[in-house]
Amino acid sequence: MFHPKQQLNLAFDRTRFSIAGIQVIIISSAMSISLFPRKLLAALPRMTNELQSLDRLFSRSALSNEKATEYKDAITLLNCLQSNVINLKECTKKIETGVPKHSQEECKVFLKRTGIKLETLENDLSVIHVSGTKGKGSTCAYCESILRSHGYKTGFFSSPHLVAVRERIRINGIPISEEKFVKHFWNVYRKLEANKDEYNGSMPFYFGFLTVMAIHVFLSEKVDVAVIEVGIGGENDCTNIFSNTPIVGITSLGLDHTKLLGDRIEQIAWQKAGIMKAESTVIVSRDQPATALQVLRDRAHEKNCILLEAPPIEDYKLENYTNSSEIIKKSFDSSVIQELNVSLALQLSYAWMARCKNRGNLNAIGKALTICERSLDGISNCYWPGRQQILEPNDSRLTYYVDGAHTKESMLECAAWFNNKTKTRKSVKVLLFNVTSNRDSYELLSLLDDCQFDIVLFSTNIANHNNYNITSDQANLITSVASQLERCSEHVKIWQELAESRITKRESETVRSFPSVRDALDYLENLSGSEKREFSVLVTGSLHLVGAFFSTVDPDLTFMKGKAS
């Protein structure tokens, strides 16, 4: 949570505006301003001309006007709730001092403040809750698609988004429309704003707000089932607000967010298992690290849960077919990690139908299932962009291989996937890379070195610096452009170190950095046109980079294959 009396330093010419009723006068030099949230208007020095609209947006009169605001107004105010870096630092401090951060308890209070009682969640919203390190988004996407193929109305909450924040909240697989987003955003925000003085001025951070908003959307839409992807961890995640979760899934575990979750796999497993509830049916991906699996079993025992492992995809049968395994694998872009994800998604879907809709046998869960063609359709029709995806634009010599891998394990999978897809293709191999947060750039880049790239490009996560402002779905008020550029320079140095340390020397590659993804793609398009050769471009390292890439090549979300709901 943030509080009104937090300090922000800005430098501006003399002007006056108000934010949530707080009159602010900026004279000239840097001055300290009390407002909410911290770093609220960090991007304003380059947006002086937006002060009048911000004045209107944040004034109490605008907040109380039911007819006020457009989509960009909602996005602007949502961006002002950004907190990831600040909140993560606070969480880390609390963990280091032995005091846990209970985001889910705060989220329950926010739900109550917006008129949703916890009993309502238990009675009116059936949930499949999924945590894990690798593949939890993909598993959720497959699960949602399978259940939709069986005729159920689905809600799906995921993170992060690629192009538009609306992607995080979906009804029947489609992001909610701008109109619905605006309606639900202001309904939630105005309720929280109206009673914040009773709660020491507290308001939720970005992810917490969207969690509360998603619950409102799902209840309003009367979905049959809500598939909820955990943000970070599980035990103390904002989404861990359900006391009665019938179906729980845990995907493959690995080391990630170690400052928050612990630097041992056992600690991470304990955190991920926090979403288990009494008598939940818990299904986990197979091939978990042995010590992590034992922790999961112990926690399931403590919570009186049934814990089952999803079987290999080869063990599944398809009704009325003899070559079942081959047909099922052809229904998706088969790889080791996706086979684990699809198997877990099938188990979660069939468990929910058996337990919550009396369709099927719950005792069959955890074993090889015989699935129907509806389920096969759900798998083949699932579209989850930015994960091991190949794009071949018309009239272009560039083929893009896009994967948001950002952990050691997922990057190994990514490198193997790219090498397999391009091994028979005579083309110039290109890497477009960036990472976020405190991830080990050297480790991730070293895993990609064997791909033998001809060109290596590093970019910020900014799609186009000309359109980088506070009203954008991809605005980042926490990480400055300067720090992103500095990270790119570090990546150049790391790659040069890797090249110098190679035992087997090879022809040196071109290494460059760019201030935006648009600049990097312009460079490649010009180069491919002049050389008249085919290019295979791997875009990886961060889902935020992937989002910037899609914002550049497909800003209208046509990749979502459908109209907004």
Q: Determine contact, residues 224/218, Cβ cutoff 8 Å.
A: no
Structure tokens at 75: 């996005």
The 3-state DSSP composition of the chain as helix, strand, coil percent (nearest 5) reads 45, 15, 35
Beta strands in 6-163 (DSSP E): 6-10, 15-19, 22-26, 31-35, 127-131, 154-157
Question: How many whole angstroms separate alpha carbon 146 and alpha carbon 158?
Answer: 16
Task: Judge whether 229 is annotated as a binding position.
Answer: yes
- For residue 257, say whether it is annotated as part of any ligand binding site: yes
| In the block, residue with structure tokens 């309606």 | 183
Closest by Cα among 158, 171, 153, 105 to 132:
158
- CA dihedral of residues 337, 339, 342, 348 (deg, nearest 10): -80
State both tokens at 317: 């049968």
Dihedral sign (CA 544, 545, 546, 549): positive
Q: Of 75, 50, 53, give the one whose Cα is nearest residue 62.
A: 53
3-class state of residue 315 by DSSP: helix
Angle, CA of 507, 511 and 512, to the nearest 5° = 160
Around 373, how many Cα atoms within 13 Å sit in the side-chain half-sphere?
A: 2
Q: What is the Rg, in whole angstroms, of the alpha carbon atoms belonging to the chain?
A: 24
Residue type, 219: L
**CB neighbours of 76 closer than 8 A, spacing ≥ 6?**
54, 57, 470, 471
Contacts of 241 by beta carbon, 8 Å cutoff, 6+ apart: 104, 107, 108, 111, 118, 121, 211, 215
Annotated binding site: 159, 229, 257, 387, 403
Annotated binding site for Mg(2+): 159, 229, 257
Annotated binding site for ATP: 387, 403
